Amino acid sequence: MNESSLTPVYRALFCDLRTDQIVDVLPLTDAKFDDYIGKAGSLTATVPLPEAALASRARAALRPGRTAVWLERGGDIWWGGVLWTITPACDEQGRVTVQFQAGTFDSYLDHRILAHGLAGTATDQFDIARSLVEHMQDQPGGDIGITLGNEMSGVRRDYAYPYSALGRVRELLDKLAQLTDGFEWRIHCFRDARNRRVKRLQLGSPRIVAGQSDLVVTHPGQVVTYSLPTDSTVQANVWVARGEAAGTDQTEESEPLTVEETAPAALADGWPRLEQTSDHSGVTDEATLRSLARAELARQNRPEMIPEITVTLDGTITPALLGAVVRLRIHDLWHPGGLDRPYRIVGLAVNPPQRTKPETATLYLEEV
């Protein structure tokens, strides 16, 4: 994938998901990858198979559902996840390739449910999050090597996750994080001081924070393109949340628990009434449901802004900056007086260098 000695070298390591032992290192073309706070990222790439020996190696290494993929850039870990799909294909010239798609390691949590009920009282929400991942990895065949820290959020909660609800670990973590005074989480992939590949449960309350000082990017300058959409279609100043009926007698009809939360200040400020709803399966406690509704309302009480900028990679932008603050400065026809505003990086998509295109990254931002 490198065209010259000045072009950064990308290398994909294919490992056993449970042991992380390297199975093979294969050449890639057309690689694209991304990572986010709040949702799973992905990697798509193609392995060219010009001869039988490489095809044999690829068949052994590319095993969907049990292969881990680590993407290195210049020796540093830039992405890690689980191989989920492969598509061998042959074109009209007889050239054989296999395209694959992988999801960041948190995508594995979508495929795991609790083995038994979990419950506790007055527990720090970070300890609850860690207990969910620890429980998942304690089951036979379930340990994929996610490491846990010991940070605390200072927010204590009661919790109960019955086995009968068949809750998926990813869903339970997301719902816990979305409560009022909640947190952010992701699986952070990096190489530690002993040169080991690490997948760490990273927790941040109320947000994940990275970097010590604002990184400044400018247009014209390092910013190649930008897009600053403002979307009011998802805005709300009234939120109605629906849970489940508290009764357990299936022979009796019962209405699901429903609560409404309002932002009166927005209505007093002249905004028209804008309503949104959400469903929360398994929630039968009114206080929990109201906490979810208030958190949703706080997130959606203003028009949604998800700016994105595409920048050239010059050594200052890396995936380790997810959660960091970047200061965006723009001076053009739409911003004749100049824009100078801080944003937080919540997502990053990288396009490695190709024959005719430089290496770039698209940063997804949120207001701070």
Residue 2 domain flag = no
Q: Verify that 325 and 296 share a domain, yes or no.
A: no
Q: What is the mean pLDDT of residues 295-309?
A: 89
Q: Are 158 and 120 in contact (CB under 8 A)?
A: yes
Q: State how far the alpha carbon of 331 is from the alpha carbons of 53, 111, 219, 314, 340, in Å.
A: 54, 46, 7, 21, 9
Say how many domains are in the chain. Answer: 4
Q: Verify that 295 and 313 share a domain, yes or no.
A: no
- Which amino acid appears at position 269 of this protein? D
What pLDDT is recorded for position 2?
40
Q: Verify that 15 and 60 share a domain, yes or no.
A: yes
The answer, yes or no, to whether residue 247 has pLDDT greater than 70, is: no
Does 334 or 304 have the greater pLDDT score?
A: 334
Residue 256 domain flag = yes
Q: Verify that 125 and 191 share a domain, yes or no.
A: yes
3-state secondary structure 177-236: HCCCCCCEEEEEEEECCCCCEEEEEEEECCCCCCCCCCEEEEECCCEEEEECCEECCCCC
Angle between helices 169-177 and 125-138 in degrees, nearest 10: 180
pLDDT for 175-230, tens place per residue?
999 999 999 999 999 999 999 999 999 999 999 998 767 789 999 999 999 999 98
Q: State how far the alpha carbon of 160 is from the alpha carbons of 122, 283, 295, in Å.
A: 12, 10, 20
Domain boundary among 276, 300, 324: 300
**Both tokens assigned to 43:** 């990697």
Q: Where are the alpha helices (DSSP H) in the chain?
A: 52-61, 125-138, 169-177, 264-268, 286-300
Q: Please count the other Cβ atoms lying within 10 Å of the Cβ belonging to residue 279.
A: 10
- Pairing between strand 275-279 and 238-242? parallel
Q: Is the preceding peptide bond at 307 cis, omega within 30 degrees of 0?
A: no
For residue 244, the enclosing domain spans 238-300
Collapse the DSSP code of 262 into the 3-class scheme (helix H, G, I; strand E, B; otherwise coil) and give the result: strand
Whole-model pTM: value is: 0.86
Q: Are 87 and 31 in contact (CB under 8 A)?
A: no
pLDDT for 95-120, tens place per residue?
999 999 999 999 999 999 999 999 99
**Both tokens assigned to 152:** 């605390």
Domain boundary among 266, 285, 300: 300
Residue 209 domain flag = no
Q: Verify that 337 and 225 share a domain, yes or no.
A: yes
- Pairing between strand 146-147 and 197-204? parallel
Quote the CA–CA distance of 211 and 325 in Å, as a whole number. Answer: 7
Q: Verify that 89 and 16 share a domain, yes or no.
A: yes
pLDDT for 49-63, tens place per residue?
999 999 999 999 999
Per-position DSSP letters for 296-335, written without gaps between them: HHHHHSS-EE--EEEEE-SSS--GGGTT-EEEEEE-SSS-
Cα 151 to the center of its chain, rounded Å: 20
Q: Are 146 and 88 in contact (CB under 8 A)?
A: no
pLDDT for 70-104, tens place per residue?
999 988 999 999 999 999 999 999 999 999 999 99
